[in-house]
Amino acid sequence: LWTPEHIIDLRIEQLRAQIGSEKVLLGLSGGVDSSVVAALLHRAIGDQLTCVFVDNGLLRLNEGDDVMTMFAGDHGMKVIRANAQDRFLSELAGVTDPEAKRKIIGRVFIEVFAEEARKLDGVKFLAQGTIYPDVIESAASKQGKAHVIKSHHNVGGLPADLNFDLVEPLRDLFKDEVRKLGTTLGLPHAMIYRHPFPGPGLGVRILGEVKQEYADILRRADAIFMEELRKSGWYDKTAQAFAVFQPVKSVGVVGDGRRYAWVIALRAVETIDFMTARFAHLPYDLVELISNRIMNEIAEVSRVVYDVSSKPPATIEWE
Ligand code: XMP
């Protein structure tokens, strides 16, 4: 009988048999899959698990702190936070091509993760949040984009001196099954039902060159957008939503003067499979509220636009 409790018990037994008294390393991203693996492994082997969370500086507002609070704090897991924000930013300086940015973010992720892994003694296993659709897709397609996160965590991507055995407890499960396990393991609803977030993060939501200043503005605008979507109940009615930083200056009026400041685009889509998508028909009142808040609370933003493009021909991300 398929109940989450039953699957969890079975997995825990299998994990203990596979791992014994060895140590396991897990790349924790804060996404659903790696979080469920963390919770499952922690229940199975406790402190034999060490998680490494790479903060690339391209995460949402407070994301790094929230991951640490939840996993190291609430769940009492061993989590190493690699604060690599400056390193990612300096590697990205001057780079404007989206695919080049993706490659840099992927490469630096591997470097930082490998450095942290080398600091740990006697780790035999690397755990990964591979789920069944990942297995099918990586076998079937070389699309190259959507699975950058997992290819980061893939043993094949790590330098040769780090040869771990793999632990992939979600390999035969679909997303909805993973979510049920997560809920049963005590992970909060908001974390289990969060929208997908791309591996390169804000790196592809800041058009052109990535700068600290832009990332900080974008994070604040995005946080207002997310807060209002959640409050209004629209977060769960959309499949993905985010703000995008436009590196252009547009005029606004402040008092008697004209002020040139940045433009923020809001993107929200409805989709089942992310291959096609319709822009979410958010109520105008909600869009108005969000837009006013962003312009009033963030002086560096003078204009907010709503993206009414569907996929195809547009993509969900702007880069
Ligand atoms: P597009 O923009 O291609 O996005 O319509 C489809 C889905 O893929 C995600 N996406 C990425 N995920 N690394 C990722 O891990 C990437 O480089 C990447 N690019 C797009 C996007 O967020 C959406 O869910």
Give 5 or 146, the one with higher predicted confidence: 5
106 marked among binding-site residues: no
Among residues 259, 249, 260, 262, which one has the least CA distance to residue 294?
262
For ligand 1, whether the C-beta of 317 sits within 6 Å is yes
With the most atoms of ligand 1 within 8 angstroms of its CB, the residue from 195, 317, 319 to mutate is 317
pLDDT at 38 over 70: yes
pLDDT at 154 over 90: no
Sign of CA dihedral 180, 183, 189, 193: negative
Topology adopted by domain 205-306: GMP Synthetase; Chain A, domain 3 (3.30.300)
ipTM: 0.99
pLDDT value for 141: 59
User: CA gyration radius for the chain?
Assistant: 20
If you search the block for the tokens 């070389």, which residue do you land on?
142
Q: How far apart are CA 264 and CA 261, in angstroms?
A: 10
Backbone angles phi, psi at 222, to 5 degrees: -60, -40
For ligand 1, whether the C-beta of 196 sits within 6 Å is yes
Contacts of 168 (CB under 8 A, 6+ apart): 127, 128, 129, 130
Where are the chain's structural domains? 4-192, 205-306
| Dihedral in degrees, nearest 10, Cα atoms 232, 233, 234, 240 | 120
Q: How many residues does the chain have?
A: 319
Does CATH number 3.40.50.920 belong to domain 4-192? no
Mean confidence (pLDDT) of the chain: 94
Against a cut of 0.90, is the pTM above it?
yes
31 marked among binding-site residues: yes
Q: Any idea which of 75-84, 140-149, 250-259, 282-291 has the lowest mean pLDDT?
A: 140-149
For ligand 1, whether the C-beta of 314 sits within 6 Å is no
